[in-house]
Amino acid sequence: MDVPRLTLGALLALTACSPDGQDGAASRGSADRQAVSGEPVSQVECAAIPTGQSSVPAGDYRVGTNARRGEEGPPRRVATDGFAIDSHEVTNAQFADFVADTGYVTVAERTPDPADYPEIDPALLVPGSAVFGVSLERGGFWWRFVPGASWRAPYGPGSSIDGLDRHPVVHVAYEDALAYAHWSQTDLPTETEWEIAARGGLEGAEYTWGDEFRPGGEWRANTWQGPFPAIDIGEDGHQGLAPVGCYEPNGYGLYDMAGNVWEWTSTPFDTGSNTGTIRGGSYLCAPSYCARFRPAARQPQEWDFSASHIGFRTIERVSAEAG
């Protein structure tokens, strides 16, 4: 697949969001470590990390919905020969193994070619990705580009992934996710495959676990609590990213198919689109603002863009010989 370059318009779009647009990023609204640096804070211990892949059986499935936004419908039936998909999002530790083995350099770590961005001052074209950090008091923007931010330094220069082995890797563009998948002899899911997996066998349900956001008062995903986008108070046990596998899995044994990080799929957002499709919502999704932590929700994303709340998981399809 040809991967279009990020446009100036896409760069500028990071500084303004709407309720129907991408998640906004957290401003520095509290005195704790997460608010000051953007680094995650967990108030609860998570069980042992899940491993491997979970199987999704062959069959006909209903995907899509008419209940929310137009791009999520219409509901339709699709067939799959079955596949296995990672039980959790690819972690920093897993991605580090890939980089150590291959020497791979992510898109965010490369210096952009000024010829690809003629509208932008070349002085601004340095390695780096979007991270959250501009406070509302300092201008009202929720996103900014920070030179030096990458999967190795997800919160900007001076940060690291030390102690975050179990957290999902972020600042990965589509090209980076696909390179990892090829190295691991897997692939990225189509958005249809992703949605089938996310639903966990619950046809037509609002969430990956059912129709109630907090069944029995329990948190089922890492999302945003508190006045958005000023402060995430972490009622679900986590401010910012959570380690993978901290919430109950869905019916297929898959963790974090809602919230935590958006996940890359291999599907263009629409015909002729220069954007890919990400799924699942992130920890920056609030019920009052984004609410895209639903299996039917879709979000366009520039193929060569990475951010502090986008990750991925991989898939292994049933071969024709096995079928």
- The CATH code of the domain that includes 259 is 3.90.1580.10
Residue 254 pLDDT more than 80? yes
Binned at pLDDT 50, 70 and 90, residue 2 comes out as very low
For the segment 265-288, the average pLDDT, to the nearest whole number, is 89
Flag whether 306 is in a domain: yes
Flag whether 41 is in a domain: no
Q: For residue 99, what pLDDT is reported?
A: 98
Q: For residue 58, what pLDDT is reported?
A: 96
Q: For residue 64, what pLDDT is reported?
A: 83
Q: What is the pLDDT of residues 216-235, one digit of tens each?
A: 999 999 999 988 777 889 99
Query: Which among 129, 121, 179 is positioned nearest to 149, based on CA atoms?
Result: 129
H-helix or E-strand spanning residue 258: none
User: Which of the listed ranges 36-40, 47-51, 122-126, 239-243 does the model predict with the highest average pLDDT?
Assistant: 239-243
User: Which of the listed ranges 29-43, 179-193, 203-217, 227-241 does the model predict with the highest average pLDDT?
Assistant: 179-193
Quote the distance between the C-alpha of residue 185 and its chain's center.
21
* 76 three-state secondary structure: strand
Contact (CB, 8 A) for 230 and 282: no
For the segment 169-188, the average pLDDT, to the nearest whole number, is 97
Residue type, 50: P
Q: How many domains does the chain have?
A: 1
Contact (CB, 8 A) for 166 and 294: no
Q: For residue 133, what pLDDT is reported?
A: 34
Contact (CB, 8 A) for 305 and 10: yes
Contact (CB, 8 A) for 199 and 211: no
Query: Which one-letter DSSP state was computed for residue 62?
Result: E
- Taking residue 115's Cβ as centre, other Cβ atoms within 10 Å add up to 8
Flag whether 159 is in a domain: no
144: phi then psi, degrees, rounded to nearest 5: -155, 160
- Sheet strands (E) in the chain: 41-42, 53-56, 59-63, 76-80, 83-86, 128-132, 143-147, 238-239, 262-268, 275-279, 298-302, 310-311, 315-317
Residue 322 pLDDT more than 80? no
Q: For residue 18, what pLDDT is reported?
A: 35
For the segment 87-115, the average pLDDT, to the nearest whole number, is 94
Q: For residue 67, what pLDDT is reported?
A: 67
Q: What is the pLDDT of residues 55-75, one digit of tens each?
A: 999 999 999 887 666 677 788
Flag whether 217 is in a domain: yes
For the segment 165-187, the average pLDDT, to the nearest whole number, is 97
Instruction: Check: pTM over 0.75? Answer yes or no.
Output: yes
Q: What is the pLDDT of residues 147-166, one digit of tens each?
A: 788 999 998 888 999 999 99
Q: Which of 11-15, 95-99, 176-180 shows the lowest mean pLDDT across its residues?
A: 11-15
* 77 three-state secondary structure: strand
Q: For residue 135, what pLDDT is reported?
A: 30
Residue 129 pLDDT more than 60? no
Q: Please state, rounded to an integer, the average pLDDT across all residues of the chain.
A: 81
Contact (CB, 8 A) for 128 and 108: yes
Q: How far apart are CA 305 and CA 176, in angstroms?
A: 10
Q: What percentage of the chain has pLDDT greater than the value 70?
A: 80
* 136 three-state secondary structure: helix
Pairing of strands 238-239, 275-279: unpaired
Residue 32 pLDDT more than 90? no
Flag whether 8 is in a domain: no
**Domain of 209?**
52-108+164-317
Q: What is the largest CA-CA distance in the chain?
A: 60
Query: Which one-letter DSSP state was computed for residue 187?
Result: B
User: Which of the listed ranges 54-68, 235-249, 278-292 does the model predict with the highest average pLDDT?
Assistant: 235-249
Sign of CA dihedral 198, 204, 206, 209: negative
Half-sphere exposure of 259 (CA within 13 A, CB side): 33
Q: What percentage of the chain has pLDDT greater than the value 90?
A: 54
Residue 138 pLDDT more than 80? no
Q: How far is CA 282 from CA 89, 152, 277, 295, in A?
A: 12, 20, 14, 12
Contact (CB, 8 A) for 257 and 197: yes
The structure tokens 């366009």 sit at 300
Q: For residue 34, what pLDDT is reported?
A: 42
Q: How far apart are CA 30 and CA 125, in angstroms?
A: 31
Q: How far apart are CA 228 and CA 24, in angstroms?
A: 8
* 59 three-state secondary structure: strand
Q: For residue 139, what pLDDT is reported?
A: 41
Please name the residue ranges forming H helices in 53-129.
Answer: 92-102
Q: At what angle do helices 92-102 and 174-183 cross, to 10 degrees?
A: 70
Flag whether 151 is in a domain: no
Flag whether 270 is in a domain: yes
Residue 273 pLDDT more than 80? no
Flag whether 236 is in a domain: yes
For the segment 310-317, the average pLDDT, to the nearest whole number, is 97
Q: Which of 6-10, 161-165, 206-210, 216-220 shows the lowest mean pLDDT across its residues?
A: 6-10
Query: Which one-letter DSSP state was computed for residue 225?
Result: -
